Each structure stands twice: as C-alpha cells, then as structure tokens.
Amino acid sequence: MLWRRADALLAKTGRGDLLIKEIRASTLPITLKDWLYSKIMHTDASAPEESFGKEYTYYLERLPWNTMTKGDAVLAEVWCRSGKTGIIVLLLGLHWQAVYSGAGKKWNDNLSRVEKIFHAILDAPTLSVNHFPFFLSH
C-alpha cells in the first residue's frame, strides 16, 4: 500500500519513463539496469544471479541517507518516478533478493530502507497537496 501511495503521488509530477542514457549513468546494480532496459525495449529480462542480494544491499547502503530522506532530496534519485521505470524497481530488488539470495537479516534491513524511501517521497514538500492543489479536485 505504501508503494502505491508513493507511486500515485509521483505520477502527478509528469516525469516519464527513464531514458536509456539515464539508466546507463545510474549507480543501480547491473541486473536492475538490465530489467529497466527490458521494460523500455519490451523484452524479457534475465533472472539475477545469487550474488544479487549482496549487490542490492550494497547499492541501498550507499545511497545518501543523511540527505535523501530530508526535504525534496529523494526526488533527485533516478528511479524517483512512477511507472515501469520508477520506484517499482526498488520492490523488484527486494523480490529478487528474497527469491534468489534468501530473505534474511539483510533483506529485512533493505525492506526498512525501501520503506524509508517511500515515506521520504510521501513527505517531500514539493509533492504536498499545497503544490498540487488539483489533488483535491480529482
């Protein structure tokens, strides 16, 4: 439910799908990049290797947590948009980590990290009702 609320709020920004050059320049794990490419090109993505869980944890740990969860900073992240190349990639990472790498303490830690990201999106001042008064009329 939290993801759906964040995704719906991000949809109001009008930011479209990522461009291939944006995906390429991102610091996302390569397996997630490949999945994003497949969404843009309408092809099938490969399943990740067992090492994906470590890569995903490393990626999430390296995000700028001191600033990202304050104000609008989270909106600068490449995946901070709705749709097929947006924040759903964070859920996919959790799913893949659980299925291919085992859901343990690191998975639970990552679940908490992703939850913090979704809360940061919902709390971003730019996305508040005051900035989008049309929320009230639709």
Instruction: Domain ranges for the chain, please list them.
Output: 2-129
pLDDT, averaged across the chain: 91
Q: Tell me the mean pLDDT in the region 113-131.
A: 88
User: pLDDT band at 1, cuts 50/70/90?
Assistant: confident
Query: pLDDT tens digit string along 42-51?
Result: 999 999 999 9
- With a pLDDT cut of 90, the percent of the chain lying above it is 81
Helix, strand, coil percentages for the chain (3-state, nearest 5): 60, 0, 40
Side-chain half-sphere exposure of 129, counting CA atoms within 13 A? 4
Give the pLDDT score at 128: 78
pTM score, two decimals? 0.88
Q: What is the DSSP code (8-state) at residue 102?
A: -
The CA distance from 47 to 78, in Å, is 22
Phi, psi (deg, nearest 5) at residue 26: -75, 165
For residue 126, count other CB atoms closer than 10 A to its CB: 11
* Tokens describing residue 44: 């099938």
Give the pLDDT score at 137: 38
User: pLDDT band at 138, cuts 50/70/90?
Assistant: very low
Strands (E), the chain: none
